[in-house]
Amino acid sequence: MSERARAVWNLWRIDSEIQQLESRITQLTSQLGDQVKVKAGDIAIRRAKDTVAKALSRQRDQEFELAQLEARIKELDTRLWSGKGTPRDLEMLRVELDRERTRRNGIEEQTLGAMEATERTQRDLARVEAAVAAAIASLQSGNVQRVAERTSATSRRDALAADRTALIQGMPPEDVEAYNRQRSKSSDGVPVAELTGSQCQGCRTDIPSGDAQRARRSEAPFPCPSCGRLLFIPNA
């Protein structure tokens, strides 16, 4: 079983779980009562999450800049203390070191500010989530549980979507294309199938033994000659 075929199989595992979660989320949404209110809540939460993500990314940038400057200061300091060079060189080093240290004070301030900003956005998100949950729960009895299940299903779906993006980035584009093509072509929307012996479990067809061997050896995901699903060979 090649890495590429395994990646395709993992992609399907992620996608099938995302599909299940989405249909459960849709089901819960329709049970919650006021759809407009639920959707407005979703939008408010999504916005708050985006704000957190932006604040976090600004914080990371600041932290990176600070780490780079720390390294630069350390390097200048080592050079100055080594005492190598003319007095004029050393004097220039000292001036530069002073300048970089002053700059560091400013960047430290900014980094602290960025951290505080991130915490603020996280508190805002928690507030928005609680307010939305309370508003939706009040629409109908039994909603508290539905809201809780829907919130955890949504988080799980978002986490899987991030895993999916990371997985696809490491896959050859032609494999992703083959997967997507087969996904829209298959009658049941399943783009992969297990090969047991020489039988494709997608279409229950026995494939020629030469193809079964090729499927086992192939680097690229190998399609079933009968149904086109990409074959997965466990323990191989």
226 touches Zn ion (CB under 5 A): yes
Stretch that binds Zn ion, among 10-18, 51-59, 106-114, 192-200 (CB under 5 A): 192-200
Stretch that binds Zn ion, among 18-26, 64-72, 152-160, 217-225 (CB under 5 A): 217-225
Binding residues for Zn ion, rule CB under 5 A, total: 6
Stretch that binds Zn ion, among 9-17, 53-61, 111-119, 195-203 (CB under 5 A): 195-203
Backbone φ and ψ for 232, nearest 5 degrees, come out as -115, 130
233 touches Zn ion (CB under 5 A): no
191 touches Zn ion (CB under 5 A): no
| Shorter beta-carbon distance to Zn ion: residue 32 or 227 | 227
Query: What is the CB-side half-sphere exposure of residue 232 using CA atoms within 13 A?
Result: 17
Positive or negative: CA dihedral 119, 124, 127, 133: negative
- CB of residue 231 to Zn ion, shortest distance in Å: 8
SS3 100: helix
CB 12 within 8 A of CB 191: yes
Which alpha helices (DSSP H) does the chain contain, by range? 3-31, 35-82, 87-137, 143-169, 173-185, 209-217
200 touches Zn ion (CB under 5 A): yes
| Shorter beta-carbon distance to Zn ion: residue 93 or 227 | 227
| Shorter beta-carbon distance to Zn ion: residue 2 or 198 | 198
| Shorter beta-carbon distance to Zn ion: residue 80 or 195 | 195
List binders of Zn ion among 105-144 (CB under 5 A). Answer: none
CB 221 within 8 A of CB 5: yes
Q: What angle do CA 169, 173, 177 make, to 5 degrees?
A: 120
Stretch that binds Zn ion, among 14-22, 168-176, 198-206, 208-216 (CB under 5 A): 198-206
198 touches Zn ion (CB under 5 A): no
Stretch that binds Zn ion, among 19-27, 124-132, 162-170, 218-226 (CB under 5 A): 218-226
Place of tokens 């939008």: 43
Gyration radius from the chain CA atoms = 28
202 touches Zn ion (CB under 5 A): yes
CA distances (Å), origin 5, targets 96, 169, 218, 221, 228? 55, 15, 9, 5, 14
190 touches Zn ion (CB under 5 A): no
Place of tokens 């949404």: 29
- Site of interaction with Zn ion (CB under 5 A): 200, 202-203, 224, 226-227
